[in-house]
Amino acid sequence: MNKGLYISTLEPRSGKSMIVLGLMQALLGRMAKVAYFKPISGEDNTERDNHIETIIDYFKLNSSYEESYAVTRDELINNRNSGKIGDTLEKIISKYKQLEETHDFVLVEGTDFTGESSVFEFDWNVNIAKNLGLPVLLVSSGTNKSLKEFNRNLEMAYKTFKNKDVEVLGIVANKVQEKNIDLLKREFKYLPESVEKIIVPLVDELKNPTVREIVEELDGKTIIGEEFLENLTKDFVVGAMQLPNFLKHLKQNSIVITPGDRADIILGSLQAHASSKYPGISGIVLTGGIRPEESVTNLVEGLQQIVPIISVKTGTFETTQKIGNIKSHISKGNTTKIKTSIDTFTKFVSPENFIDSMNSYKNQVITPMMFQYSLVTKAKQERKKIVLPESNDARILSATARLSKLDIVDIVLLGNKTQIETQLKELNLEINSKNVEIVDPENFNRFEEYAETFYELRKHKGVNMDVARDTMKDVSYFGTMMIYKGDADGMVSGAAHTTQHTIRPALQFVKTKPGCSIVSSVFFMCLEDRVSVFGDCAINPNPTADQLAEIAISSADSATAFGIEPKVAMLSYSSGSSGKGADVDVVREATEIVKQKRPDLKVEGPIQYDAAVDPSVGKHKMPDSEVAGQASVLIFPDLNTGNNTYKAVQRETGAIAIGPMLQGLNKPVNDLSRGCTVDDIFNTVILTAIQAQDF
């Protein structure tokens, strides 16, 4: 079941707040624990976001203000300008997931379009919704737009979300003139039946300010009627003429603007308010900083029906201009506006079907950021200790510092402690001794025990104790022995050593799992909208049919372990039965072996890459296949093809390649490329820690 919904808009002042309030009320009527989350706080670093405070206060939510947003607008802009936008997205995902884990549902509100770049802001909302894996409710305002302009903008926004694989569950056409509602309904031809279509007319009570908003905007002082400041205003009238003529211009819920010394207008307005012959007013604004005489004030206070009377310093003309330009908003204490918003939502929106469609929605998109977050989350579930033999490499130390700061795993660095600490200082890096241990192999208090163990394991190969001691001085062998002895849970190496140097010790005495005859590898290829498993792209040059089948089965199991449904494509230059030749025959045979050994797996082969991953090509070439067009595990026929393909995909698409992760060993040992980045090391350590949870 889906646990969230993203409310996004196309422009400022769309009426999004009314939708959020109404939905929150409806959700709380069906679920016990609902959270509100606004990824980007609308204020700067010194002020609190009014809407976050309003939602939390009115609905008495159990989440705090700090839990309800990720970054401020200032932080977002600073990170964007300094090239750290990924840090912002990572924080948003983390904060959202924390709420998701402790609540039945999370209502997420997008940005308010009050920044300097509406294009950036719209794209950013698409990006956030996609990376949170949430469906979207799209809100647009009809204010000051032609029917053509309104519909064109909404259609463009809908298709942008869909093209980015973000599901739009519904659209809200808000603030629509009554006369245009039927016209607009006929224009929604581009929307499928499944998309909820909601039209909300323009509501004056939500458009116009309360008396309190006028007081705040004009820095006014309340003379009488503090308890009535939440009165809604509908219009304003200036009391500059004689009372008989003035009374003709009064309208229901209008605000009266008059100089402070016009006792006749003040008293006449109040009398009209009490009379059944005239419309009621919302309040009186006295201009020029002039207050009425005490006798007038006493008379007013004695009336049974009063309205708020406020005094402002500005003149009548300036005051009128300012009141006319006030943009009303919903605030924490404005219960009248809040209730009006909820009532409006209830009147024009039927949330039952919409909430059901939210709950039944299942996200099919996995972004790189989502996958990386899931890896960190999995690693935290069961803490593991990973040994890193190559402590003299600056990249290893940088990754260690990052892992230490996040406190995800425990790290063992192999090497001379003084040298490592000196290098850390030179690199301006900090590590925490609580989660990072430095071990010098030659001065390790159990070095002799390690050497004796190696001797016992390899004496049948002619190894004596002298050779065993020399071998244990090699960091790759020492690190592997730590795993074998249970002093560490996994090892990551290869930044400064060859693949053979990294995995040879593991093959010699850690050995392969029961039922596995070979060690193979996979890369997790994090594409824009999905994560695919590529195997084998690092170890086996020319696997036989049996080996290829084993690689496919191991890769499918790895996919499952990391939350990816395995749909296995056995790749070749031919699809189906059309191709001939030794190379395609090996793939065909391997596919049959997989089907025999693991009938539970969805597997197709031989199949070409485009038919495996492109739905239209897959449907055309292999229409009856459960895998074609939607493969998640891609098995390459040989190392030459696999290694070149993963690098081509990585470079040409900008995909993040996490790995290689080795499969088939009794304990997790993973190999880095010598050109690896700090991110590669970080990700591989996390992968290794997760692998270790299964041993």
pLDDT at 685: 94
Taking each helix axis from N to C terminus, what angle separates 545-561 and 582-597, rounded to the nearest 10 degrees? 50
pLDDT of 42 above 80: no
Cα 484 to Cα 588: distance, rounded to the nearest angstrom:
38
pLDDT at 386: 96
Provide the residue type at 574 as one letter.
Answer: S
Provide the residue type at 645 as one letter.
Answer: T
Mean predicted confidence (pLDDT) in 484-497: 91
Enter the tokens of residue 437: 């241990």
pLDDT of 481 above 90: yes
Count other C-beta atoms under 10 Å from residue 498's C-beta: 13
Confidence of residue 328 (pLDDT cuts 50, 70, 90): low
Mean pLDDT lowest among 9-18, 491-500, 504-513, 558-567: 9-18
pLDDT at 695: 78
Mean predicted confidence (pLDDT) in 77-103: 84
- The angle formed by the CA atoms of residues 67, 5 and 185, to the nearest 5 degrees, is 140
pLDDT of 117 above 60: no
Cα 105 to Cα 95: distance, rounded to the nearest angstrom:
14
pLDDT at 653: 87
Q: Using one digit for the tens of pLDDT, what is the confidence trace for 123-167?
A: 888 888 888 888 899 888 877 777 778 888 888 888 888 888 888
Rg (CA), the chain: 34
pLDDT at 367: 77
- DSSP code per residue over 332-371: TT-HHHHHHHHHHHHHH--HHHHHHHHHH-------HHHH
pLDDT at 174: 79
Confidence of residue 450 (pLDDT cuts 50, 70, 90): very high
Mean predicted confidence (pLDDT) in 645-655: 89
pLDDT at 591: 93
Nearest to 454 by CA among 428, 430, 476: 476
Cα 338 to Cα 330: distance, rounded to the nearest angstrom:
7
Averaging pLDDT over each range in 238-252, 309-323, 630-644, which range is the top one? 630-644
Q: Using one digit for the tens of pLDDT, what is the confidence trace for 391-421?
A: 989 999 999 998 988 888 999 999 999 999 9
pLDDT at 358: 67
pLDDT at 33: 84
Cα 242 to Cα 63: distance, rounded to the nearest angstrom:
56
Phi–psi pair at 71, nearest 5 degrees: -140, 160
Indicate yes or no: pTM above 0.75.
Answer: no
pLDDT of 186 above 80: no
pLDDT of 286 above 60: yes
Cα 656 to Cα 649: distance, rounded to the nearest angstrom:
9
